[in-house]
Amino acid sequence: MSNKLHICTYFDINYLPRGLALYYSIRKFHENIRFYVLAFDIETLKYLNALEDDHTRVISEKEYNNYFQTSAAKYLDKKQYYFSSTPNICLYLIKTFPEIDILLYLDADVYLFNKLDSLYEEFGDSSIGFTPHRVHPFLNFFVRHYGKFNVGVNLFRNSEEGLACLRDWKDDCDTWYPDKPEYPLKFFSDQIFLDSWPEKFNGVKVIENIGVNLCYWNVANYKIRKKESYFYVNGKPLIIYHFSSLHKLNSTAWNTSSVYGLASIKKDLFEIYRSYIKHIESFGLSNNKWEKMDHKRNIKKKIAHFLLSLFINEIVVVDETE
């Protein structure tokens, strides 16, 4: 592995504050990086270009669409179109920048709390790396909707096997259409295709570090503690937290969606969320827009979601006076 870390993501103006927070959280721990961003609208493109940051490389939506001859028209909504771009942007970057030896893809709503060294060490000589959901046992009831693995943190080596995986993933996304026979879901998911990777490819590494890709759906499995200025997960350093489905309710309150992971946002976990919210609010940009995918649920799942919502607090309050 070269000394420079190559990390990519994508977002539009609605997730710009989260993308900026991700970038600066990486820079806090790593100076020698190249951060690649696929900007999905003109506002985001202009904002990032105006930063004139030598560590970033911004790819416009026009450049992306022209290269892959694609558009949002195929998908039911813009969010599904964005999801389809994950293998594409990884392939594009590895082909365009041959100096990339390992490409780390991160969702725009993840955030670093420590160095990435242990993640790369665990990845080792592998060609493909990704994380299991590690859901709370109760949530296995819902796992069919989201797959065994989460797409928020992925590593791909610039190798025959790494590229083969990305091409296969791209083909799975490109050939999807609503109600496709044998496709297990009613909606598009780039993530569901990861289920087959351990059987399809060699050099696969399922990341076991519980400090990587912690999120509301698995955090109830662990004890979160803060020691000095760092957070720990069952005694292991917290490296990446995934703030999936976090959304703003009003000027002081946020919904963490923790209800769906049986997690209470309190004590040190509250501080994790609160520090992140303060960071994304610090840029002076809007955090009001949040898109939720409308997954169809059967009656059992509707009942379960309703019962959970009755007794688990899912609100994070930010003190405006600070």
* pLDDT tens per residue across span 190-208: 999 999 999 999 999 999 9
> What is the pLDDT of the chain when averaged over all its residues?
88
**Residue 114, pLDDT score:** 98
**Residue 266, pLDDT score:** 87
**Residue 297, pLDDT score:** 47
Express as a percent the part of the chain with pLDDT over 70: 88
197 versus 178: the higher-pLDDT residue is 197
**Residue 76, pLDDT score:** 75
Query: Is the pLDDT confidence value at 261 over 90?
Result: no
**Residue 317, pLDDT score:** 52
The predicted model gives 260-270 an average pLDDT of: 86
Query: Can you give the chain as a three-state secondary structure string?
Result: CCCCEEEEEEECHHHHHHHHHHHHHHHHHCCCEEEEEEECCHHHHHHHHHHCCCCEEEEEHHHHHHHHCCCHHHCCCHHHHHHHHHHHHHHHHHHHCCCCCEEEEECCCEEECCCCHHHHHHHCCCCEEEEECCCCHHHHHHHHHCCCEEEEEEEEECCHHHHHHHHHHHHHHHCCCCCCCCCCCCCCCCHHHHHHHHHHCCCEEECCCCCEEECCCCHHHCCEEEECCEEEECCEECCEEECCCCEECCCCEEECCHHHHCCCCCHHHHHHHHHHHHHHHCCCCCCCCCCCCCCCCCHHHHHHHHHHHHHCCCEEECCCCC
Query: Is the pLDDT confidence value at 222 over 70?
Result: yes
**Residue 268, pLDDT score:** 95
Tell me the fold of 5-317: Spore Coat Polysaccharide Biosynthesis Protein SpsA; Chain A (3.90.550)
* pLDDT tens per residue across span 24-72: 999 999 999 999 999 999 999 999 999 999 999 999 999 999 999 887 8
Query: Is the pLDDT confidence value at 322 over 90?
Result: no
